[in-house]
Amino acid sequence: MSAGDRPMAVQVTLYLHEDDEWHHRSLYLEVLRYLHEENVAGAVAYHTVAGFMGRMRLKTATLVDAGGRLPVVVTFVDTDEHVQRVMPRLKEMAAHRLIVRENVVVEQGSLD
């Protein structure tokens, strides 16, 4: 367990674009569907109002030409074992995007 008897968990963040697709469907929604089907403890997608990825131009929701290129961030938290089980498929689905994994401490609530 650890950090003063608080459970340890893993948080994964995927940095996507709103126009990314998986089998002709919105990638971020397909990622959420997959995580839900796999009974991940919890996941959320944040549709950003501004941002950039890599060395690309800054996009904002006010730019007329943003056109589907705003970042969408998907974050989920679960046990290390569960994360290891879903990661291969996520890496396949978002092969061209940044995925970050970090160990976290659950301060409140549970992963059930």
Secondary structure, 3-state, the chain: CCHHHCCEEEEEEEEEECCCEECCEEHHHHHHHHHHHCCCCEEEEEECCEECCCCCCCEECCCHHHCCCCEEEEEEEECHHHHHHHHHHHHHHCCCCEEEEEEEECCCCCCC
pLDDT of residue 56: 62
The model carries a pTM of: 0.83
Q: How confident is the model at residue 70 (pLDDT cuts 50, 70, 90)?
A: confident
pLDDT above 90 for 89: yes
